[in-house]
Amino acid sequence: MSTSTVDTAVDSCARARLETDATARRALLDRCWAEDGVHCDPIGRAAGRDGLPHHIGGFQAEQSGARLEVVSGVDEHDGHLRSAWQLRAADGSVALEGTDFGEMDGDGMVRRVIGFFGPLPPGGSTG
């Protein structure tokens, strides 16, 4: 899959997360989100093109003034991707950071996003 296809899809999804108008948000997701797409993170799960716009709208209502922003480039191979994000509170401070892992379908649409909050937990030696 071409880098530009992946970047365009991720950019459209990121812009949809920021869009407060439900009709405009849906139009953005129609260009990048698979019909059977699934988004899940530690606080929720949304399925399909109908589920994700509603999930985003609910988040916006609960976190008035907060913005979820992609803060890294998109790392992609074999239709799988990852990117880093920050949740910025209304005052601009970083309230939460995380990583999204995703999967593209054969048509260049995002099929799955799995979000993780915060840094990786500390580990130990296995040796």
CATH code, domain carrying 85: 3.10.450.50
Sign of CA dihedral 66, 64, 82, 13: negative
pTM: 0.86
Helix (H, G, I), strand (E, B) or coil at 90: coil
pLDDT digit string, tens, across residues 41-72: 998 999 998 899 999 999 889 988 999 899 99
Task: Report yes or no on 125 lying in a domain.
Answer: no
Task: Report yes or no on 11 lying in a domain.
Answer: yes
Output the pLDDT for position 72: 94
The pairing of strands 94-104 and 80-88 is antiparallel
Task: Report yes or no on 126 lying in a domain.
Answer: no
Domains identified in the chain, total number: 1
Task: Report yes or no on 42 lying in a domain.
Answer: yes
Query: 38 lies in which domain range?
Result: 3-117
Which tokens in the block code for residue 127? 């040796």
pLDDT tier at 3 (50, 70, 90 boundaries)? Answer: confident
The contacts of residue 82 (CB under 8 Å, 6+ apart) are 74, 75, 99, 100, 101, 102
CA 5, chain centre distance (Å): 16
Task: Report yes or no on 76 lying in a domain.
Answer: yes
Q: Is the pLDDT reported for residue 110 higher than 80? A: yes
Task: Report yes or no on 123 lying in a domain.
Answer: no
**Residue from 67, 90, 76, 70 nearest 4 by CA:** 76
Task: Report yes or no on 124 lying in a domain.
Answer: no
